[in-house]
Chain A
Amino acid sequence: MDGKILTVDDLTLSVQNKKILRGIKMEIWAGHIHAIIGPNGAGKSTLVSAIMGLPGYKPEQGKICFLGENITNLPVFERAQRGLTLAWQEPARFEGLSVEKFILTGAKNKCHKRAEEVLEMVGLDPHKYLNRAVDKTLSGGERKRIELASIIAMEPKLILLDEPDSGIDIDALEKIFSLLKKLKQDGITIVAITHSLAVLSQADHAFLMCCGKILDKGDVNRIASYFRNKCIPCNHDRFMVSTIETAP
């Protein structure tokens, strides 16, 4: 594996006859924080959906390997059982399902104490939250942190984070950022997709994505500078026609 935990090779995918991913190639290094940054519509969420194997995101061509195993045709739950998981931009609501039960669903250690520990890690008071339902009585930000807690309890090897900052207030965001560093210290690999420079700044390594392609990869500061100066002001359509072939 040579330190690579995940490789994506020539991944092409269409949704409703529209080509969204165009020959994506990526290598994700174990124990690092990676960011995939790009404007809205770049294909970032589609890419993580394909990596996770969500229904409707089956590649037309290409290969996804996790820990050296070709997982391209594995269903979602088998990928999860191998240590790959996903935290959604907008987590689902579950009527009648308690926070504790939700957290322990995929947990390695299914005890009450563990549920308390992981809630504390995301900055939520277990006494206030464990018995509540994961439903509409929780804000989007609370559900996001609870989902992150549930993922930590799984003790996965690689976490795909879809827009980890959306719906999170500034104080909680600092908590999430320090948590990402802690997870990294524990040897967990993180791939965060974002269009936020604040999230990008937490990464060790970045990919720049637009129009279904990886345009650049490498140093976070260089990618951030390009994104700030070129992508943000860029009209997306103009970006498509003029920049795509001349990216740095």
Chain B
Amino acid sequence: MNNSDTALELLKSLGIDIGHVFTEDVAKIQVHQNKVVGLHLVPGLRVQADEMKDGIEAEILIEKGMKIEKPIHICFGVLPEEGLQKVKLHIRAQEESKAMILAHCTFPNARQVKHIMDADIEIEHNAHYAYFERHVHGPKGGVDVIPNAKVHVQEGAEFSTEFELIKGSAGNIEFQYEVNAEAQSKTEMTARISGTNNDQIRLHETVRLLGEYSMGVIVSHIALKQYAIADIENTLVAHAPFSRGHVDCKEIVVGNAQAKAVPTVLVKNPTAHVTHEAAIGSVDAKQLVTLMAHGLNEDEATDLIIEGLLSKKQNWQNMIKEME
């Protein structure tokens, strides 16, 4: 298969209508294993990608003051049943720039695939950077997903990220994000994951509010079925005066699944304010009987409640709809 055929196969596995999406004003970066199989840039975006033995290393730069209108599409994937993909990303959104990235990671046939991502992300002064990452896995799992990111959000900047894995079997996820947030910055991190079979999900996220009036929100919504296990640690530390934060962790556990959640909030300044909510358990009984009183059986009602818990945030919805 040549590069364009491989790129096409990656997109097909995601169900994306490529004819509709990839007009000239949409940037794209497509990576299969250690090969860049598709690259199209737009003004304001610079990408330097180097192939490594078992992956790629890429620098992505959004230039100062540039506002990239359409979401940049990134696709990482491994089509064979076995493989290793290491991705090293250095992302910098320069001052006053604005960009949204829609990333898809696809491993549709995986039996023994490992996807490791190490990223350092710098969001400069007053820049806006939003990153949505959707994973598409096969029904049998067989994927180790190990994303690790260190993020620095400078004064007045906005950083939001949303990780979604609700189709297929999650496999083994070890997710670790750390964010240092400067004055008057905003950080929002959301993870929505569905675990089934023997999936193991480990999610550790930390936001440090270092600057005055910085804001941070960490949201984890997880649904677990069968023998899936989740271990969630969300930490929000408010160092700075008038910083504000919230941690929201909700997990629904069905069957023999197990969930552990440790939301940690630490306030180191008396003018800061941080809240948290955590709920783990089976499906809410009142929600269940409400839907059953609408004529749904217990399984249908449970699935609908889980679908709601794992649904996309409103601000991403139009973007995804347009893309797919």
Contacts and interface: CB of A to CB of B under 8 A. Distances in A.
A106 B296 CA distance: 7
B320 to A, nearest CB: 15
B294 interface: yes
Contacts of A94: 287, 305, 308
Contact of B290 (A55, A92, A95, A96): A92
B175 to A, nearest CB: 21
Given A77-B298, A106-B296, A96 B311 contact: yes
Given A55-B285, A96-B310, A97-B308, A91 B290 contact: yes
Contact of B294 (A54, A85, A93): A85
B293 interface: yes
Contact of B293 (A80, A93, A97, A133): A80
Given A76-B289, A92-B284, A105 B294 contact: yes
A97 B311 contact: yes
Interface in A55-113: 55, 75-77, 80-81, 85-86, 88, 91-97, 105-106
Contact of A80 (B250, B287, B294): B294
B292 A97 contact: no
Contacts of A86: 293
B294 A154 contact: yes
A85 B285 CA distance: 17
B304 A105 contact: yes
Contacts, number: 65
A87 B104 CA distance: 42
Nearest to B305: A94
A147 B311 CA distance: 21
Contacts of B291: 105-106
B82 interface: no
A96 B286 contact: no
B293 A52 contact: yes
A154 to B, nearest CB: 6
Interface residues of B, number: 24
Interface of B is mostly: helix
B295 A55 contact: no
Nearest to B294: A106
B309 A95 contact: yes
Contact of A77 (B285, B287, B295, B305): B295
A162 to B, nearest CB: 11
B297 interface: yes
A105 B305 CA distance: 12
A75 B292 contact: yes
B307 A77 contact: no
A97 B293 CA distance: 17
Contacts of A151: 294
A12 interface: no
Nearest to A103: B294
A150 interface: yes
B292 A77 contact: yes
A154 B296 CA distance: 12
B145 to A, nearest CB: 23
A10 B67 CA distance: 72
B294 A96 contact: no
Interface string B75-111: 0000000000000000000000000000000000000
B284 to A, nearest CB: 7
Contacts of A97: 304-305, 307-308, 311
A96 B250 CA distance: 12
Contact of A154 (B221, B287, B295, B297): B295
Interface in A171-205: none
Contact of B295 (A88, A91, A93, A106): A106
B251 to A, nearest CB: 13
Contacts of B298: 77
B295 A54 contact: no
A96 B309 contact: yes
Contact of B307 (A75, A85, A93, A96): A96
Given A96-B311, A97-B307, A133-B308, 10 more contacts: A52-B293, A80-B294, A85-B295, A88-B286, A93-B287, A94-B308, A95-B309, A105-B294, A105-B295, A154-B294
16 contacts: A85-B295, A88-B286, A92-B284, A92-B286, A92-B287, A93-B287, A94-B305, A95-B250, A96-B221, A96-B307, A96-B311, A97-B305, A97-B308, A105-B304, A147-B290, A154-B294
Interface of B: 221, 250, 284-287, 289-298, 301, 304-305, 307-311
